[in-house]
Amino acid sequence: LVILFSLAMVAGLALAQEKAPEAAPTERVVQEQAPESVLATTYVYTATPSVAIPDNGCSAGTYATSTITVADSFVISDLNVGIWATHTWRSDMDFRLYHPDGTSIDLLLDPDGSADNLNALLDDSSPNAASSDTTNHLPPPPYYTAWYYPTGLLSTFNGKNAQGEWVIQVCDDAGGDTGSLNTWSMFFGSGLILDVNTDGGAVCEGNDVDYTFTVVNATAVTESFTLNYTSTWPYAGPTATSVLAPGESEDIVVTVHVPNTANVNDSDDLTVTVSGGGDSDQATVTTPASLIEGYTDYADVPTGRRTRDHSLVYYDGKLYKIGGYDGSARVYVDIYEIATNTWTTGADLPGARYWLDCTEIAGKIYCAGGYQTSAQGTLYIYDIATNTWSTGAAMPANRYGYAGAAFAGKYYVIGGYSGSAYMDTLLAYDPISDTWDITLPSMSVARRDGMAGVIGGKIYVTGGRSAASTYVNTTEVYDPALNAWSTAASLTTTGWVRAADAVKDDRYLMLLGGASADSSASNYALSYDAVDNVWRLLPTMDHLLYGSEAASDAAGNIWAASGRLYENGTFSYSNYTFKLDECGAANADLTCLKTDSADPVSYGELITYTIYVTNTGNADGWNTVVTDTLPAEVTFVSASPACTENLGIVTCDLGSLGNGQSQQLEVVVTAPEATVQLTNNVEVASAEDDFNLANNSDSETTQVTNASIEMVKTVGLDPSTCATTNEIDVLSGTEVVYCYEVTNTGLITFTDHTLVDSELGNILTGFTYSLAPNASVYVTQTAVLTETTINQATWTASDGILSVDYSDSATVNVLPATITLTKTVGTNPHACATANSVAVIPGTAVTYCYEVTNTSPGTLGLHDLVDSELGTILNGYAYALEPGASVFVTNTVTLNASVINTATWTAYNAGPIHVATAEASASVAVVTTSAGLPLEDFNAGTAGFPPAGWTILNNGGTCVWESTETTSSANLTGGDGYAAEANADDCGSGTSMNTELRTPFFNLTGATSPLLIYRYDYRDHDVADQGTVDISVDGGATWINLVTYLVSDRGPAQNLVDLSAYIDEPLLQIRFKYIAPGWEGWFQIDDVEVLLEAEPAIAVNPAELANAQLPDTIDTTTLNIANTGSLTLTWDIFEDTAPIMQTPLVNWADNFDSYGTGVQLHGLGGWKGWGNAPAAGALTSNAQARSVPNSVDVLTATDLVHEYDGYTAGKWVYTVWQYIPSSYSGQTYFILLNTYSDSGTNNWSVQLCFNSATGQLIDDTTADCSTGTAVSYVT
């Protein structure tokens, strides 16, 4: 299992775990207890579940769980968890904590080796690892006597709302022990949170480092929070956050600059304070001036020779990698030559070894003990000069995992492991006497896998393990002169082993990579400063390693090679050879360059000064400021970016200008109205040391004068005059004329002139000509061009003191010769037709028209015309066809068969050159026709659409004519089966239609009364919609309109169109055209035919009907109507509007107050409550009380009518005529009659209800016809 994580106290550095500790601890240590302030939090919740922890349950997923319900609603800024659990071998327990939203962390996994019980507080800020505590925990009180950092980060929950159910899970992951979770507590903090998100680490002096802080609003307010900073070194950061709601967070970046005056290992604290919402929080980062700036990889260790726990020794420009392990102990000796960056091999060790630490003394390398399959005691001696091995006196006791050092000609072996015991002893080997001194004093603690180096004549040893799981972080110093041990600063971590160690500059003990209780690979780099007695982090390494080894070369460079590597999620034996890159001297080197936009300039013109600032040094230019002192004569206009102006001085604050970075500035001023030479001075400076001030400033002079010219360059074809355009198109080989016209726009006379053209060369050189102010003069130059040319000319004018110039360009596009050809065909021999196709009957003379247009930029003088069917028409015909001009040729032939022919027109000039060719085709359809058109009912549907001989055209729309079977539309024309339809509604939204449906060709030879008959339904939607019926007499070349539909003309309907005007025409065609720019309209046709003889006729028998009957009498009379003509007729019945034609007839009377004859009544009658009620105003009116019958005005013949038959005293007697449409199928309907007098005092109303089921007319006073008395009526 491989786990990657970062420790809280060294955020940003990576660790990798490869294996568990090797053996059970042999001694115990006491853990530090949490300070009281950790428990003094805002919210505390406790559960006392006494939950049993089942044995060996983790692998089976058997967990004991306990829940704490947080009733309060608040945002978490800090969380610590206390646990009291009884359990033998607490290292068997695994704990996991779940937030109410499901987020979870590993709270504690396998706390340590063999101790019992857990009474501990878990806190991210604790420096203590649970694995370092080997004491049995006693029952509370007091609670939480141990203080650990958790396996996962409790800060995972920061910024979340705490409300809800929290669950802790605990399980036992080994057999043989049980226990119980007795109680657990959560200690919450709420308020503002400021966390350091990334640690920039040490950087070289003169450089910047960025820190990312995270602000979490764990307050109850929404606001922007203030940010304040304290730092001795320069810094830059925002003054406030954006507006944050409760629970929201924001990352802020703060930059710290390490000044180049800082010494190595100088440091400065940056403290950031965030405040607002009644709360505040602080975070501090420390930035040291680094000893190194990074790491560089060199040649890989050869494949098959890569190991861990080997030794690395430097001698005379070479590194010697000795022994090592890659699955078993090795005898390797690999030699790296620094100068050539190459690896070679040396003589093998006499015996395979690893966990050894060799040293060089007087040209020989001494390697004591080590491990093969057990601890060894042999001393191997390598003679570098002869590449041979020998042996010396064996060690007094076998050991491996020791630290080795050489001083004053002796080889010191420090600590180590015998295979059964951890050693604290110090041995010294004397090569001269070949003896070991075992009388030296021991260290204060045993150390296996410690690291050591010699600084200032003393041996420093640090880290290591004093037991299997007991890591040591102390540092001890052996002074050979005093033969005594003393202490030095401890490591900042809980303990460290198996790092590559080396000494730099007789001051620093360097540790690279290594392992701890929590991991067995890291990218840590540490340095111990023996002068300051302090450990510091170096920049993070590029590789995660342990079991590597390092050595210092003669120049003080630190090298490391191979080791155990964690990369891309996998452990392997490292291929890397790398060197620590020492910080060099750091200084900014700011350079400044200024240019002006024009020189000289005229009075009042704008001058743009461009300032280029570059830092060519190896340190950042912190607080870089550009100061531009403007000439007193100019007027300031603008400056950018980050610039301000005051009293003629422009100041631009560039902030930090990194090494190698540049910044461009622009300052715009207005020139004075005077002849003067301006001098503009600029300088740049920064807070960083700059040892080359000579390039920090620049000056730019600009001449202001009233001297100026303008030149216009044109190009044309006429050598006698200047053209008006600066761009023309010509054919290859054309002679063009350039014109250069210069105007003196200043106030002085110019006497000397030079004109240079980029393509034509020098045209004028020192030409003397007096050009007075406002005067103009021009020069022309001819050239023959064969390719497109863009050339720029510059005219320079001088009065002997001041010189001014002006540039302009012209373009000549050399294009190929091109023409277009249009070929049409028609039946008029005296004019060109407009179409390229025509239909004719056999023996018709048709006229082809060939029209050519010259689209070239030049004249074409010779012409060839060849027709694929008619042969050569023109051959070398001379005609000057000017650019843009057209000419046509016609040819008339008589055709008896259809033909499609293609014409090729070639136009050119003598040579031939400028050859242009174009083709065009035309078609003639020779057709035979029948008399009239047979009936087409379109009932073949989609499969037979269009019908045989019919054609469909799409003139650019989306949809075309189709069968109603295709569109699924109903046939609305009145015809049976399917119809033809152009349906914009079916075509859809956003579409348009312009489509034609054309009939077969036909003739009307011998016709007497020809008639076009068709059924139709036209629905109009848009004012631009249009349906037309047209006829052509020339094979479809032109059309004559017969019928136009511009508004809805709904079917079922039939139209008959008289075609007498076209009798004896031999070639006719009908088209139905539909145009709809939008949608929702349509045009349907059906039953189309053309009859040669078409006169409708009917016979009616009897010719007249008369029948009178008494009331309540029904009589039937038969009327015979016969079609005696040649047309199929549609029947329409038109009824007489006389009263005797209305049905049913109801006679009804009621009593009212008496009125005198002639009294005006204001009566309104109408239908109420019926879906087909007549329109407003379709009412009776102007009823008068008098005896004359039929005194009522009827507004609509089919509306309800009240007719007053007569008058008798005390009673109105009148007849109600009721029209009932034949489509009515309801049960009842209502009639409401209201009549009132002028004074409004004699209101009356009657409601009648007619029940069509019973045939009763009821005098009713209710709305639902439920009561009333039937009245008599007749039908």
Task: Please indicate, yes or no, if residue 4 is contained in any of the structural domains.
Answer: no
Q: Is residue 1162 part of a domain?
A: yes
Domain boundary among 240, 260, 288: 288
- CA-based nearest residue to 650, from 631, 664, 633, 663: 631
415/341 same-domain check: yes
Q: Is the pLDDT of residue 737 over 90?
A: yes
Q: Among 189, 224, 243, give the residue marking a domain's end.
A: 189
* Structural domain range at position 770: 709-815
Q: Residue 378 and residue 368: Cα distance in Å, rounded?
A: 6
The whole-number pLDDT of residue 801 equals 74
Q: What is the pTM of this model?
A: 0.47
Q: Quickly state the pLDDT bin for 417 (edges 50, 70, 90).
A: very high
The closest of 311, 314, 330 to 322, measured between CA atoms, is 311
Residue type at 15?
L
Nearest of 591, 586, 587 to residue 684 by alpha carbon: 591
Task: Read off the pLDDT of each residue in 355-374 and give the average, rounded to a whole number.
Answer: 98
**Cα distance between residue 288 and residue 508, in whole Å:** 15
The percent of residues in the chain predicted with pLDDT above 70, rounded, is 83
CA 732 to chain centre: 49
Q: Count CA atoms within 13 Å of residue 811 on its CB side.
A: 4
**Residue 1183 — φ and ψ, nearest 5°?**
-75, 135
Question: 989 and 1048: one domain?
Answer: yes
Q: Are residues 297 and 281 in the same domain?
A: no
Residue ending a domain, among 129, 156, 189, is: 189
Torsion angles phi and psi, residue 1103, rounded to 5 = -75, -15
- Give the Å distances, CA to CA, from 114 to 150, 467, 469, 515, 687: 19, 14, 11, 22, 59
Is 950 within a domain? no
State the Cα–Cα distance between residues 1078 and 1024, nearest whole angstrom. Answer: 9
Task: Report pLDDT for 159.
Answer: 84
Between β-strands 860-867 and 871-881, what pairing exists: parallel, antiparallel or unpaired?
antiparallel
Distances in whole angstroms, Cα of residue 163 to Cα of each of 43, 72, 79? 11, 6, 13
Contact between residue 561 and residue 319 where contact means Cβ atoms under 8 Å apart: yes
What is the Cα–Cα distance from 538 to 536, expressed in whole angstroms? 6
- The pLDDT value recorded for residue 1228 is 35
What is the SS3 assignment for 77-120? CEEEEEEEEEECCHHHEEEEEECCCCCEEEEEECCCCCCCCEEE
Distance CA 618, CA 692 (A): 13
Q: What is 1124-1138 written as a DSSP string?
A: -SSS----------S
SS3 content of the chain, % helix, strand, coil (to 5): 5, 50, 45
Give the CATH number of the domain where residue 1160 resides: 2.60.40
Provide the CATH number for the domain around residue 1053: 2.60.120.200
Q: Which residue has the tokens 């009526």?
A: 1273
Give the Å distances, CA to CA, from 741 to 439, 755, 812. Answer: 107, 11, 18
Residue of 755, 830, 828, 763 whose CA lies nearest to 795: 755
**Is residue 38 very low, low, confident or very high in pLDDT (cuts 50, 70, 90)?**
low
Residues 882 and 986 occupy one common structural domain: no
Q: Are 984 and 1080 in contact (CB under 8 A)?
A: yes
Within-domain flag for 168: yes
Task: Answer with the residue of higher pLDDT: 1136 or 749.
Answer: 749
Query: In angstroms, rounded to a whole number, what is the distance separating the alpha carbons of residues 549 and 565?
Result: 12
Q: Which long-range contacts (CB under 8 A, 24 or more apart) does 872-876 make?
A: 873/903
Convert the pLDDT of each residue in 949-981 to its tens digit: 999 999 999 999 999 999 999 999 999 999 999
556 lies in the same domain as 617: no
Residue 987: enclosing H or E segment and its boundaries?
helix 984-987
SS3 call for 857: coil
Adjacent-strand bridge partners of 1093 = 1009
724 and 658 in a common domain: no
CATH number for the domain spanning 184: value is 2.60.120.260
Q: How high does pLDDT run on average in the chain?
A: 84
The pLDDT of residue 1241 is above 50: no
CA distance 87 to 179: 4
Q: Are 549 and 452 in contact (CB under 8 A)?
A: no
Most distant CA pair in the chain, distance: 167
Continuous segment of H or E residues that includes residue 566: strand 564-567
- Report long-range pairs for 948-952 (Cβ below 8 Å, ≥24 apart): 948/1000, 949/999, 949/1000, 949/1001, 950/997, 950/998, 950/999, 950/1000, 951/997, 951/998, 952/995, 952/996, 952/997, 952/998
| Confidence bin at 135 (pLDDT 50/70/90) | confident
Report the range out of 251-265, 343-357, 464-478 with the highest average pLDDT: 343-357
Q: What is the dihedral of CA 1216, 1222, 1224, 1230, to 10 degrees?
A: 0
* Residues 162 and 240 both lie in one domain: no
Contact 546, 563 (CB under 8 A): yes
- The partner residues of 581 in beta bridges, in order of sequence, read 294
Task: Please check whether residue 353 is in contact with residue 371, taking contact to mean a CB–CB distance below 8 angstroms.
Answer: yes
Q: Is the dihedral of CA 327, 328, 334, 338 positive or negative?
A: positive
Q: Any idea which of 167-176, 441-450, 831-840, 1070-1079 has the lowest mean pLDDT?
A: 167-176
Whole-number Å distance between alpha carbons of 400 and 420: 11
Domain identity same for 520 and 624: no
1191: confidence class by pLDDT, cuts 50, 70, 90:
very low
Least confident of 182-191, 700-709, 778-787, 1135-1144: 1135-1144
CB neighbour list of residue 989: distance below 8 Å, 6 or more residues apart: 1079
| φ and ψ of 1144, to 5 deg | -80, 165
Distances (CA, A) of 318 to 340, 350, 382, 567: 10, 21, 14, 28
Q: Do residues 303 and 449 both lie within one domain?
A: yes
* Residue 1183: per-residue pLDDT: 34
pLDDT tens-digit map of 984-1010: 999 988 899 999 999 999 999 999 999
Positive/negative CA dihedral, 868, 874, 875, 881: negative
Same domain, 899 and 801: no
The secondary structure of residue 355, as a DSSP letter, is S
Query: How many domains would you assign to the chain?
Result: 8
Q: What percent of the chain is modeled with pLDDT above 90?
A: 63
Q: What is the pLDDT, as a whole number, of residue 1258?
A: 54
Q: Is the predicted pLDDT of residue 122 greater than 90, yes or no?
A: yes
CA 1197 to CA 85: how far, in whole Å?
104
1168 and 1184 co-located in one domain: yes
* Alpha-carbon distance values, 308 to 251, 326, 329 (Å): 41, 7, 10
| Range in 48-52, 410-414, 499-503, 899-903 with the lowest mean pLDDT | 48-52
- The predicted model gives 208-233 an average pLDDT of 89
Is residue 1101 situated within a structural domain? no
Query: Does residue 1218 register a pLDDT over 80?
Result: no
Spell out the SS3 assignment of 756-812.
Answer: EECCCEEEEEEEEEEECCCCEEEEEEEEEECCCEEEEEEEEEECCCCEEEEEEEEEE
Regarding whether 413 and 553 lie in a shared domain, the answer is yes
Mean pLDDT of 575-590: 90
CATH code assigned at 237: 2.60.40.10
How confident is residue 20, by pLDDT bands cut at 50, 70 and 90? very low
Asked, for residue 1266, whether it belongs to a domain, the answer is: yes
- How many other CB atoms sit within 10 Å of the CB of residue 323? 28
| Measured CA distances, 861 to 876, 1029, 1189 (Å) | 9, 48, 96
Looking at residue 603, its pLDDT comes to 87
pLDDT greater than 60 at residue 828: yes
Amino acid at site 69 = T
In a domain, 16, yes or no: no
**Tens-place pLDDT, residues 593-652:** 999 988 888 888 899 999 999 999 888 888 899 999 999 999 999 999 989 999 999 999
- Please give the Cα distance from 933 to 207 (Å, whole number): 97
In the block, tokens 């010699």 appear at 454
State the Cα–Cα distance between residues 1182 and 1193, nearest whole angstrom: 7
Q: How many CB atoms lie within 10 A of CB 467?
A: 20
Q: Tens digits of per-residue pLDDT, 162-216?
A: 999 999 999 988 877 889 999 999 999 888 888 887 766 678 888 888 899 999 8
Contact 867, 922 (CB under 8 A): no
Host H or E run for residue 1006: none
Rounded Cα distance, 1202 and 1204, in Å: 7
CA angle 540–543–544, rounded 5-degree value: 90
Single-letter amino acid, residue 155: S
Residue 1110 lies in a domain: no
Between strands 913-926 and 837-840, the pairing is parallel
